[in-house]
Structure 1
Amino acid sequence: MIETDILIAGGGIAGMSAAARFAADGHKVMIVDPAPADIGEGTDLRTTAFLQPGIETLKKAGVWDAIKPTGAELRVMRIVDAGGNEMTPRETADFDGAETTQGFFGWNVSNKAARVSLMAKLETLPNVDFRFSTTVTGFTGTARYGEATLSGGETVRAKLVVAADGRNSSLRDFAGIKHRRWAYDQSALVFVVTHDKPHDNISTEIHRTGGPLTLVPMPDLDGKPCSSVVWMTPADRAQQLYNMDDTTLSAEITHDTMSMFGPLTVASPRAVWPMISQVPSRLISARLALVAEAAHVVPPIGAQGLNMSLHDIETLAELMAKAKLKGDDIGATTLLKSYERKQLPKTLARVGGIDLLNRASMFEPRTLRDLRYAGLTAINRIGPLRKLAIKVGVGK
């Protein structure tokens, strides 16, 4: 029998961030993940734009100083409406980080670099026990503790069990929490490009029929400006793009970005990710809290996904810190209900809002594309709407 304060299932970026954040407040943490200890080079080509609230959580976790040098600052969020297949932008809206209290929106970091930094941090923490090649095979929540069985045969008793084990969460299923999932017949093609023109720390999201095409600043590669690409498009076209050679794909993305960056050159392998959204009916059960993709899945629009996860983690951390200070139970039902009251309405609103934005970005009929254009124009030129867009964009 292993006893701990908190058991976290899932050792991805969210799970490791949660472990570091909770450990910083003095909790004893065990974290388990099915992956082996040697993560190698990995195949995840995605990057994450950490927005300011998420950065504050990583600072509290004591890991941001290690992550920050591996990424690029996001000073401006640029949204471009390109209509259907127009070759010049119809409307360009720049949301400047200078209009925020921090002076920037966030930082774009490769997922691999974030994982390496987080793992290195956890290895230094005496109150964190990281078990690789390990899964949770059963879970029961009681009035006193959560009891989980592990794939190695051990039993863990924890005051709180945190499900950070992804969109297909086993812990969520063990707790009988239902969820709703819907797909878009749309995929995201992800890869890295270099270009002649500097990105000037501007994240550019181009909306045309089929979905947004986003280029996010990265540090220079081989002396050339570099950006990560998330190209959301109908599933059939995503597969066609994926199958192209680098020269042909470079020409396609140069065309679809309207040569805004000059000629683009594919500079990495590519991967395809099917697009879905997902929400659960509840965020809690006895001694269990859902965070990250166990709690919400959204298309990669506006860098909301992992930043929503960090907001889950911070909300839970603050509630537990208050309970610990008072000598109260960090896994009590009252605390978990407070977590759900704070997070579930926000989760449903964010998932619903991103769903609407994604569907709007996929519009094919001219009248609907013109409606999207009118909406962007209004946000760009009407002060209160612009301020609201900046507030939402920074993740608040």
Structure 2
Amino acid sequence: MSDTCDILISGGGIAGLTAAAAFGTAGFKVICVDPTPPIIDGTAEGADLRSTAMLQPARILLERAGLWDNLAPHAAPLQVMRIIDAGGAESEPRVTREFDAADISDQPFGWNFPNWLLRREMMTRLEALDTVDFRAGIGTKRLFTRVGGAKVTLSDESTVQSKLVIAADGRNSPMRTAAGISVRTQRYGQKALVFVVTHPTPHENVSTEIHRTGGPFTLVPLPDRDGLPCSAVVWMDDGRLIQERLEMDVAHFEDEASVRSTHHFGPLTLVSPRQAWPIVTQYANRLNAERLALIAEAAHVMPPIGAQGLNMSLTDIATLLDLAQERREGLGDAKMLEAYHTERYGDITLRVRGIDLLNRASQAGSTVARDARAAGLSALYSAAPVRKMLMQMGLGMR
């Protein structure tokens, strides 16, 4: 016998859990599955130690999903985005520019959260919703669709019949593959090293992105830890170099990270394990198939620059939610899903290409390319209308 629901969500990462909470709160009957149970303790083995900056528009969706009130006490506001070019002969700042949210809004750009904590609060919300059935340890296996609905076979050989299937199952999405949707992929030879540090100088709610070569070194504010200012770090560089740093002894690694940070907040002290992730750009050639919608990394993957990745995913969810509430009787039909593709695809491809260009600029190794990058940063910043437009575009307000 098959279970039935309005929406089956394949994938229980942050995007999948947010979608489950949003659609469940809106009154849809949801089944969400993921082959890997979420780790909701930051000290547990395998915990996701990355952090996510939720930009202003994301808060609206989190409120609609009943998540914001529980997340707010853990938020580290991001009031200023500081960009430093350190591409000279020595690893020291030569151009520093700050983008202040106060220039365009009475709110911060966004709020930063550890990923494991997001999962914890999202799981708590799902447990309170009688409209959501979350099944850990179970994945999706086969997809069969017809005009009137979809039938999905799960990894335990049970089946679910639903009006809409949402693929939130990652860059190697089994549901996207089952639907025959192809992707375009660009590799850079980079990896991102992620870890958490404390430092003597307060970050003052400033997210700092330092460019030299190989990729940016970004420090994103977190709440104080053991009485010391604390930041999440994403260090992008050539994959071979990242692997070497992953294996360094702690003292040597702290010294190298402090130098790469230009000692901006003083010496860095490692307070978490290190994890590495490959950097790619990838996007699906379509966001929909019969009874299927792609969101998050099933739809688009990009380098972690400008906090665009998950925030684009949340825009995917908000767009689908609006369409679903407008068309409850036609949930998951061709008209709804074509509207979803049309509304999101142009924005996704524009942002993917923009982040690709920024990443290539951040990799610059030659003196000429580094100087051009520094000059470009100064030119963009000096024109106030352009500066404001870039901030608004980064937030998804334009």
Pick the TM interval, shorter chain.
over 0.9
* TM-score relative to the length of structure 2: 0.96
Deviation at 1:87, TM superposition (A): 3.3
Whichever residue aligns with residue 392 of structure 1, its letter is: M
Counterpart in 2 of 1:391? 392
2:174 to 145, 170, 173: 170
2:248 to 232, 244, 247: 244
Contact 1:3 1:157 (8 Å CA) reproduced: yes
Counterpart in 2 of 1:362? 363
Counterpart in 1 of 2:156? 152
Distance, in Å, in 2 between the alignment partners of 1:43 and 1:366 is 39
Deviation at 1:184, TM superposition (A): 0.6
Counterpart in 2 of 1:180? 184
Contact 2:215 2:237 (8 Å CA) reproduced: yes
Deviation at 1:379, TM superposition (A): 1.5
Q: How does 1:115-154 map to 2 (within 5 A)?
A: 115-154=119-158
Seen in structure 2, the aligned counterparts of structure 1 residues 38 and 307 have a Cα distance that, compared at 3 Å, is: closer
Counterpart in 2 of 1:375? 376
Distance, in Å, in 1 between the alignment partners of 2:282 and 2:63 is 29
**Which runs of 4 or more aligned residues in structure 1 lie more than 4 Å from their structure 2 counterparts after TM superposition?**
37-40
Contact 1:85 1:208 (8 Å CA) reproduced: no
Contact 1:195 1:263 (8 Å CA) reproduced: yes
Counterpart in 2 of 1:13? 14
In the alignment, structure 2 segments of 5+ residues that lack a partner are none
How many residues get paired?
Answer: 393
1:223 to 227, 243, 246: 227
1:104 is the counterpart of 2:132: no
1:271 to 259, 262, 275: 275
* TM-score relative to the length of structure 1: 0.97
The more displaced of 22-31 and 281-290 is 22-31
Contact 2:104 2:388 (8 Å CA) reproduced: no
Q: Residues 121-162 of structure 1: CA distance to partner in whole angstroms, max 9, x if unpaired?
A: 000100001111111110012110011111222211111000
SS at match of 2:354: helix
Deviation at 1:392, TM superposition (A): 2.1
SS at match of 1:134: coil
In the alignment, structure 1 segments of 5+ residues that lack a partner are none
Q: Residues 57-101 of structure 1: CA distance to partner in whole angstroms, max 9, x if unpaired?
A: 111100011112223111101111111453331211111111232
Whichever residue aligns with residue 13 of structure 2, its letter is: G
Contact 1:85 1:209 (8 Å CA) reproduced: no
Contact 1:141 1:285 (8 Å CA) reproduced: no
Contact 1:84 1:209 (8 Å CA) reproduced: no
2:305 to 298, 301, 314: 301
Counterpart in 1 of 2:34? 33
Deviation at 1:18, TM superposition (A): 0.3
2:321 to 317, 321, 327: 317
Counterpart in 1 of 2:211? 207
Deviation at 1:264, TM superposition (A): 1.2
Seen in structure 2, the aligned counterparts of structure 1 residues 126 and 96 have a Cα distance that, compared at 3 Å, is: same
SS at match of 1:15: helix
Contact 1:37 1:133 (8 Å CA) reproduced: no
Contact 1:188 1:273 (8 Å CA) reproduced: yes
Distance, in Å, in 2 between the alignment partners of 1:140 and 1:228 is 42
SS at match of 1:357: helix
Whichever residue aligns with residue 49 of structure 1, its letter is: A
1:75 to 79, 87, 91: 79
Whichever residue aligns with residue 97 of structure 2, its letter is: A
Distance, in Å, in 2 between the alignment partners of 1:142 and 1:179 is 23
Distance, in Å, in 2 between the alignment partners of 1:59 and 1:296 is 24
Deviation at 1:200, TM superposition (A): 0.2
Contact 2:31 2:134 (8 Å CA) reproduced: yes
SS at match of 1:303: coil
CA RMSD of aligned residues (A): 1.2
Distance, in Å, in 1 between the alignment partners of 2:91 and 2:359 is 21
Q: Residues 284-318 of structure 1: CA distance to partner in whole angstroms, max 9, x if unpaired?
A: 00000000000000010011111010000000000
Distance, in Å, in 2 between the alignment partners of 1:65 and 1:350 is 30
Identity, in percent, stands at 50
Contact 2:9 2:168 (8 Å CA) reproduced: yes
Distance, in Å, in 2 between the alignment partners of 1:366 and 1:240 is 25
Counterpart in 1 of 2:196? 192
Contact 1:71 1:110 (8 Å CA) reproduced: no
Counterpart in 1 of 2:93? 89
